[in-house]
Amino acid sequence: MKKISIIFSLFLFIHHSGTFGQLPDTDIFLVGIKKEKDKLIFGTPENITHRKGYDNQPCFGKDGKSVLFVSIIDTTQSDVYSYDLKTKKTAQLTATDVSEYSPTFSPEGKNLTVVRVDKDSGQRAYELPLADIKSPKLIHGTDSIGYFCWLNDSLLAMFILGPSNTLQVLNVYSGIRTLVASDIGRCLKISPDQKSLYFVIKGNEKEWFIYAMNILTLKTERVIQLIEGNEDFAVMPDGTFLLGSAGKLFQWNKNKTENWTEAADLSSTVRSFYRIVVNADGTQLALVAFTGEKP
């Protein structure tokens, strides 16, 4: 199997075939979360896309009223959509002749930040003003970006594509990029106290670990080993990590358990899933279900 590291293969999940062929069939589910005493209770999953095709990379809106995601409909081009949690209606936000991925809000909440595949096949980050979404602004210094996470209004953590995918931190004002780690995974999450960035280092095929990077010093330390074959995780407001594996949801909190423990069995409803994200107050979980081989 040939692995392609260009033209957004990470987002299109075509590295198993080596061609721009069939995309995975994915759906986005929402799951309510309640906390009873010291236990997390997960509600009945709700499929908010429910169609054959590619719907992926969910992100909760800062106001808690919507979910952003990317979708590919009838073409090979992806656009950004917004799902209203109250009305349960979906609206298309971008309609360009290039593909946008990984939508999220910028720190001040006035812009969307996306990764675009430009016409020259370059992968760069852009800010899209909510007041004028058709006027994208390039974030200089983001060439070869795959995924990202805003650390504050000046620092952007980036997954940079290369022979060894690297974690680099960009100062968007000075343009300085600092290398932090190599052989990283795609999942980048900021800690609830905004002091650390959590990311994954893949030392080999089986042993993958979550690391924490101090945002001020950029120093890193190992946190916990992941369940084999899984790299996507979410972090609750109280610091509890959530991870999906084989249709089940697992949790870990350093103050409560030594290792991952089962939190919910979604194998009969959602079935197989991988990417997960939690809203700001920890009351909802969005996850991406897939059919067939894991993307």
**Confidence band for 22, pLDDT divided at 50, 70 and 90:** low
pLDDT of residue 20: 36
Q: Looking at the predicted structure, is the pLDDT value of residue 9 above 60?
A: no
CB 82 within 8 A of CB 71: no
Please state the pTM of the whole predicted model. 0.92
CB 53 within 8 A of CB 12: no
pLDDT of residue 80: 97
Average pLDDT over residues 234-255: 97
Structure tokens given for 57: 């990379």
User: CB under 8 Å to 39, separation ≥6 — which residues?
Assistant: none
Average pLDDT over residues 125-131: 96
Q: What are phi and psi of 9, to 5 degrees?
A: -60, -30
User: CB under 8 Å to 178, separation ≥6 — which residues?
Assistant: 168, 169, 170, 218
Average pLDDT over the chain reads: 91
In this structure, of 9-13, 154-158, 182-186, 187-191, the range with the lowest mean pLDDT score is 9-13
pLDDT tens digits along 39-66: 999 999 999 999 999 999 999 998 889 9
First to last CA, the chain: 14
pLDDT of residue 38: 84
Q: Looking at the predicted structure, is the pLDDT value of residue 160 above 70?
A: yes
In this structure, of 3-12, 74-83, 264-273, the range with the lowest mean pLDDT score is 3-12
pLDDT tens digits along 86-108: 999 999 999 999 999 999 999 98
Residues 257, 263, 267, 268, CA torsion sign: positive
C-alpha span between 118 and 141 (Å, rounded): 15
Give 177: exposed, middle or buried? Use CB within 10 Å, 0-12, 13-18, 19+. middle
pLDDT of residue 14: 34
